[in-house]
Amino acid sequence: MCVLGSTIRCLTKPLFLTKTSKEDPKPKPKPFDIRVFKNIPYTIFVFCQLPIWTFYTGLPVFIVDIAENRGYSLEAASLLLSAFTVSGVVGSLLGGLLDSVLNIPAMLSSAAALSVCGLLSFGLAYFYDYGVMVALTVGHGILVSLVDVCIPIIVHQLCGHAMYSSALSFFFGISGVADICSGPVNGAIRDITGDYIVMFYLAGSVALFMGVIFLLLELWVRRGRSSLKDAHVSQETVNTKL
């Protein structure tokens, strides 16, 4: 990774500047600028990550656990983990293609992915057949990775270039809290109920609810952009008449 990173660094920007620009340098974004939380859509989006990743961070391990509890061998259960991981590659590619090639907003892609993911979570709690479990696991891997890839795109669209570094830093911090809470929370659910079935129902409910929230958030942001565009057009019309 270090070698490849150094190569990319050399290819994208010259190591030595041959000319000195006389223009004033642009102000650099401040790291950990808390003013980013004045952006209400961003604040809603970033705190929505807490319930999402509290359940879905440990999902592959929990799938292995329920497979063993249903009488499948450790090898068969571990194959589900491999299916989840490999299918994640497809989801990562798909997340980028939807936004850059098909021009489908990343927020809408995430909303749809979370909604379907919620239904698949219910399926894992309900279906015991191994082939169906493999299919549901592959679906989870694709959709969870798709949401993961869309996150930086959404943050940039919500906050812009100037606030992007701060916004992404706070996002990773908050989602990291969810990652830390995932094990204890879901472990407590298992201790109380005896297995992870209830956790899958909770995860599915949370994913469906977050899908609706993301859809409403996309509509809100679009409405705000449309209002700004109309105001800009009106101002240009006034200036033209003057």
pLDDT tens per residue, range 189-237: 888 888 788 888 999 999 999 999 999 998 988 887 766 554 444 555 5
pLDDT digits (tens, 9 = 90+) for 12-36: 555 555 555 555 555 566 667 788 8
* Per-residue confidence (pLDDT) for residue 238, from 0 to 100: 47
pLDDT digits (tens, 9 = 90+) for 102-149: 888 889 999 999 999 999 999 988 888 999 999 999 999 999 999 998
Residue 167 lies in a domain: yes
Residue 240 lies in a domain: no
* Per-residue confidence (pLDDT) for residue 114, from 0 to 100: 93
Residue 32 lies in a domain: no
* Per-residue confidence (pLDDT) for residue 87, from 0 to 100: 92
Name the residue with higher pLDDT: 3 or 221: 221
Q: How many domains does the chain have?
A: 1
We report the CATH number of the domain holding residue 61 as: 1.20.1250.20
Arithmetic mean of pLDDT, 70-98? 88
Long-range pairs for 88-93 at CB < 8 Å and ≥24 separation?
Answer: 88/141, 88/142, 88/144, 88/145, 89/145, 90/141, 90/142, 90/145, 91/141, 91/142, 91/143, 91/144, 91/145, 91/146, 91/148, 91/149, 92/145, 92/146, 92/148, 92/149
Residue 197 lies in a domain: yes
pTM for the whole thing? 0.77
